[in-house]
C-alpha cells in the first residue's frame, strides 16, 4: 500500500522545496494552459522575513510525500488583521497543489485544518495566496482559457478534491473578456451614454500614471485603495509597507498609459491598473528562473504584448454614484484602441458586486472565467 507522509517545511531550503512542488505536478504537455511562475516572485510571497504581510500574519507550509516523492503542498495561514477587521475567527489555506489523488488531497487539507483548529479558529477558508490582497480563489470555470497575469489556474479535478473534503462555496469571483477587433468601436447606445456621463462629470479628468514619480503615485493609490475597498467582502486594509511591497513587483511590467488615475477638481478620486499580460512571456521561461536568460525574455518581449488584465479599479466612496465606474471602463476601452491592445480581461470581480459587473455587461463583455473561495466550518 502506498504511504502518504505530510511534513512541515520552513526556512530557505523548505521554501525552495515547497515552491518546486509545482514543477513536480504540472507537465506542460498535459496541462498546456499552466504558466510557470517566476520562482523569485513566489519566494517573496512566502518570505516571512522580508514580506511585511507576515508582520501581522503567520504561515506554515506542508508538503505531501507519496512513497517518498513530493506530490502536493498546502500552506495554513493565520491572518489576525483580517479577523480584527471583520470580527471573525477564520483561518486560511493557500498555495494548494496536488496530484489527482483524493487521499493525498485529504491529508493536505487535514494538515491545514488541524493547524488552524489548534490556533482556536472556527473555520478554514481559501485558497488564499496568502490573502484576499493577493492571488486567491480556485478556478472552477474557464480551464481551457489562457490564464492572465496574476490569476490562478488549476486542473479541473481540484474542484472535486475540495468538494469531497467537505469544503463549501463561500464566494465566487468572476472575469469578463473584451476582444477589440481592428477598427471596432463602442456600440452607439454606449457612446451616447458616455457622452451624457462626461457632460455630467466634466470635472473628472484622467491622467497617466507618472512613472518618474513612482513612490508618490503609489502613495496616492494607497490612499484610494483602503477607502475604495473598505466595504467589499473579504477585504481588510493593507499597511503602507505592504502596499509598497506589492507595487514594486508590478513596476517592471507597468504600462503607464494603461495605469491611470481619475482626478476630480485636481484631487485623486480613483485609479485603474491594467497590466500587460506578461504570462505570455512567462510561458517562455519554463523553469521559472530569471537568470541567465529569463530576464532578457521579459525585457525584450514586453513591447509585443497585445492584451491586458484590469487588476484594480477603485474609487473613493465620496465619488461613487456619479457614473465614474462606467467612465473608467470606457476610458480603458478607448486607451486600448489607441495604444494597440487587442484584448482585455477584467478580474477579479465579486459575483454579487453589481456596480462593478454592470459596466462590463453594458459593453457586451462575456463572463468567461470564475474562481471560488471555499470555507469549512470547524465544529
Last residue of a domain, one of 140, 158, 174: 174
Asked whether residue 377 is domain-assigned, the answer is no
- Structural domain count of the chain: 2
In a domain, 206, yes or no: yes
Task: Say if residue 152 is in the same domain as residue 258.
Answer: no
Q: Is 183 exposed, middle or buried (0-12, 13-18, 19+ CB in 10 A)?
A: exposed
Q: What is the pLDDT of residues 75-108, one digit of tens each?
A: 999 999 999 999 999 999 999 999 999 999 999 9
Name the residue range of residue 267's domain.
Answer: 178-372
Residue 269 and residue 186 share a domain: yes
> How far are the Cα atoms of 88, 123, 124 from residue 377, in angstroms, in the given order?
12, 4, 7
- 189 with 161, same domain: the answer is no
Is 144 found in the same domain as 74? Answer: yes
pLDDT tens by residue, 342-357: 888 999 999 998 888 9
C-alpha cell, 339: 495604444
- For residue 59, being part of any structural domain is answered with yes
Asked if 196 and 280 sit in the same domain, the reply is: yes
Place of cell 453594458: 362
- 213 in the same domain as 99: no
Query: Are residues 196 and 255 located together in one domain of the fold?
Result: yes
DSSP assigned state of 300: H
Residue 184 pLDDT: 57
| E strand or H helix at 331 | helix 324-339
Residue 191 has pLDDT above 90, yes or no: no
Residue with cell 517566476: 38
- Asked whether residue 58 is assigned to any structural domain, the reply reads yes
Statement to judge: residues 185 and 57 lie in one domain? no
Sign of the torsion angle spanned by Cα atoms 290, 291, 294, 298:
positive
- Cα radius of gyration (the chain): 21
Model confidence, pTM: 0.92
Does residue 342 share a domain with residue 206? yes
272-352-93 Cα angle (round to 5): 80
Q: Which of 188-202, 232-246, 259-273 has the lowest mean pLDDT?
A: 188-202
Q: What's the mean pLDDT when you consider all of the chain?
A: 90
Whether the predicted pLDDT of 360 surpasses 90: no
CA distance 186 to 198: 15
3-state secondary structure of 123: strand
Residue that terminates a domain, selected from 148, 174, 200? 174
Least confident of 213-227, 300-314, 361-375: 300-314
Instruction: Tell me, yes or no, whether 92 lies in a domain.
Output: yes
Q: Are residues 196 and 339 in the same domain?
A: yes
Is the predicted pLDDT of residue 331 greater than 90, yes or no? no
CATH classification at residue 279: 3.40.630.30
pLDDT tens, 252-310? 888 888 999 989 888 888 999 999 999 999 998 899 987 777 776 776 777 788 999 99
The per-residue pLDDT for range 121-139, each reduced to its tens digit, is: 999 999 999 999 999 999 9
Amino acid at each position: 500500500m502506498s504511504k502518504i507522509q505530510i511534513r512541515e517545511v520552513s526556512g530557505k531550503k523548505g521554501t525552495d522545496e515547497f515552491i518546486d512542488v509545482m514543477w513536480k505536478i504540472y507537465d506542460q504537455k498535459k496541462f498546456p494552459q499552466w504558466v510557470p511562475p517566476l520562482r523569485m516572485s513566489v519566494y517573496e510571497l512566502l518570505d516571512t522575513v522580508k514580506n511585511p504581510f507576515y508582520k501581522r500574519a503567520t504561515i506554515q507550509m506542508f508538503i505531501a510525500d507519496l512513497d517518498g516523492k513530493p506530490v502536493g503542498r498546502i500552506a495554513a495561514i493565520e491572518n489576525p488583521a483580517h479577523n480584527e477587521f471583520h470580527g471573525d475567527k477564520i483561518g486560511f489555506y493557500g498555495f494548494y497543489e496536488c496530484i489527482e489523488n483524493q487521499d493525498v488531497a485529504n491529508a493536505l487539507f487535514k494538515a491545514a485544518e488541524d493547524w488552524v483548529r489548534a490556533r482556536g479558529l472556527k473555520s478554514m477558508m481559501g485558497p488564499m495566496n496568502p490573502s484576499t490582497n493577493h492571488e486567491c480563489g480556485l478556478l472552477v470555470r474557464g480551464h481551457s482559457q489562457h490564464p492572465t497575469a496574476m490569476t490562478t489556474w488549476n486542473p479541473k479535478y481540484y474542484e472535486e478534491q475540495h468538494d469531497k473534503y467537505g469544503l463549501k462555496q463561500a464566494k465566487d469571483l468572476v472575469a469578463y473578456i473584451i476582444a477589440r477587433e481592428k477598427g471596432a468601436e463602442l456600440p452607439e447606445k454606449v457612446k451616447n451614454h458616455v457622452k451624457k456621463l462626461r457632460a455630467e462629470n466634466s470635472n473628472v479628468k484622467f491622467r497617466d500614471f507618472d512613472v518618474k514619480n513612482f513612490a508618490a503615485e503609489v502613495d496616492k493609490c494607497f490612499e484610494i485603495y483602503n477607502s475604495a475597498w473598505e466595504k467589499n467582502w473579504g477585504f481588510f486594509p493593507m499597511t503602507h509597507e505592504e502596499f509598497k511591497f506589492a507595487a514594486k513587483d508590478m513596476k517592471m511590467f507597468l504600462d503607464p498609459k494603461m495605469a491611470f488615475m481619475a482626478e476630480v477638481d485636481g484631487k485623486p478620486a480613483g485609479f485603474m491598473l491594467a497590466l500587460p499580460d506578461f504570462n505570455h512571456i512567462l510561458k517562455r521561461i519554463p523553469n521559472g528562473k530569471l537568470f541567465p536568460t529569463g530576464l532578457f525574455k521579459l525585457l525584450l518581449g514586453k513591447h509585443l504584448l497585445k492584451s491586458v488584465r484590469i487588476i484594480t479599479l477603485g474609487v473613493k466612496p465620496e465619488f461613487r454614484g456619479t457614473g465614474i465606474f462606467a467612465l473608467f471602463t470606457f476610458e480603458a476601452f478607448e486607451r486600448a484602441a489607441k495604444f494597440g491592445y487587442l484584448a482585455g480581461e477584467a478580474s477579479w470581480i465579486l459575483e454579487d458586486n453589481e456596480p462593478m459587473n454592470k459596466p462590463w455587461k453594458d459593453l457586451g463583455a462575456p463572463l468567461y472565467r470564475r474562481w471560488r473561495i471555499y470555507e469549512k466550518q470547524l465544529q
